[in-house]
Amino acid sequence: MLFPSLLQASALLLFSTSTSAQSSSSSTACNNSPSLCSRPYNNITHLGAHDSPFLRDKSTSFSTSGNQYYNSTVQLSSGVRLLSAQIHKNDSASSSADKWRLCHSDCKLLDAGSLSSWLSEIKTWMDANKNEVVTLLLVNSDNALASDIGPQFEASGIDEYAYAPASSSAVKTWPTLQSLISNGTRLVTFVASLGDPSTKYPYLLNEFTHIFENDYENESPTEYACTPNRPKGLTTSDTGGRIFLMNHFLYSTQVFGIQQPNNTYVNVTNAETGVGSLGSRLDNCTEVYGKAPGFVLVDFFNVGPAMKSVDKANGVESAWGEWEWEWGWEWSGGEEGEFWGGGGGGRGCGGVFVVGRGLWEKFLIG
């Protein structure tokens, strides 16, 4: 449904052209850059889409619970390499494939479908992008066991790409990206939290054995900190050799105390500079730990765009075969005057985007 007056006031056309950069560079670039191939997995900053499948778009009637404007396939094509999601048990499921679903806090609030369907979407992308290492972080909201989650990986077929370390203890020496690619183990999966390790599904890694995080429930850009929040008992001087995952997103509290992703400040939150910006926090946390974070989780990844700060942290000047987002507008013309918007064009995908009244419509042109 289109509203001409609003479209006239706020529509924006951004054009992109199709290139063959990704296909032509696939033999030399790892995660879109040749300079990353020889670097260990834990010595790279991976851009992550927080709550990747929970969208604020037409498919969800622009749910204010949505954390991203674009789906996981677009996220991956844009350079995102860490996808996080919450998994919940569906007690009324009629099939095993539907038993575990992706829901934002509660399935009545925002249900993004089954875990196996989402994994199939990711596998389809990985099938077509042979030199890309992808990381998944599953928030285990209903205490699923490895025996619950593993069959969903098998059903989707994505387990064929799964990386399984030699032991279930903390990995001391991570392989390089090129090694993961050459060995066909391009998918690294963490689960927060997982019980006893599984010999049948050794690729399902307990997050906090390998990763530590800073705080994540911030409502002000001045609240961000680099200090460890999870697991408990860590300090900045002793993180047990874990990889640092830097949460970098804001919430806003609505009526009845309900938190929702804050998109009114996200143009600064995901920017290179500014109070509470991604770029400034990366610099600060790099100084604290003597190295850049291994992962960065953001909402509305295309705003900023967040990739600019991550490329800088990785020392990458020009990534190959990923979307180039051109962000330069703000829009507040929703039905209740809500601001949500953003814009982008891409390199390597090809498309035209029409933006207006909170709608994105993509028309492929090549």
Q: What is the set of active-site residues?
A: 50, 104
User: 115: part of which helix (H) or strand (E)?
Assistant: helix 115-128
CA distance 287 to 290: 5
> Which DSSP string corresponds to 154-193?
HHHTGGGGB---SSSSPPSSPPBHHHHHHTT--EEEEEES
C-alpha 349: how far from its chain's center? 19
Provide φ and ψ at 246, rounded to 5°.
-95, 110
SS3 217: coil
Distances in whole angstroms, Cα of residue 92 to Cα of each of 88, 89, 110, 204, 234: 12, 9, 17, 25, 40
Half-sphere exposure in the Cβ direction for 67 (13 Å, CA): 29
Q: Is 237 exposed, middle or buried (0-12, 13-18, 19+ CB in 10 A)?
A: exposed
Residue 231, preceding bond cis, omega within 30 degrees? yes
SS3 226: coil
CA distance 335 to 85: 29
Cβ-Cβ contacts under 8 Å for 110 (sequence gap 6 or more): 54, 60, 63, 65, 66, 103, 104
SS3 117: helix
User: 361: part of which helix (H) or strand (E)?
Assistant: strand 359-363
Residue 193, preceding bond cis, omega within 30 degrees? yes
Let me know: does 60 contact 114? Beta carbons within 8 Å.
Answer: no
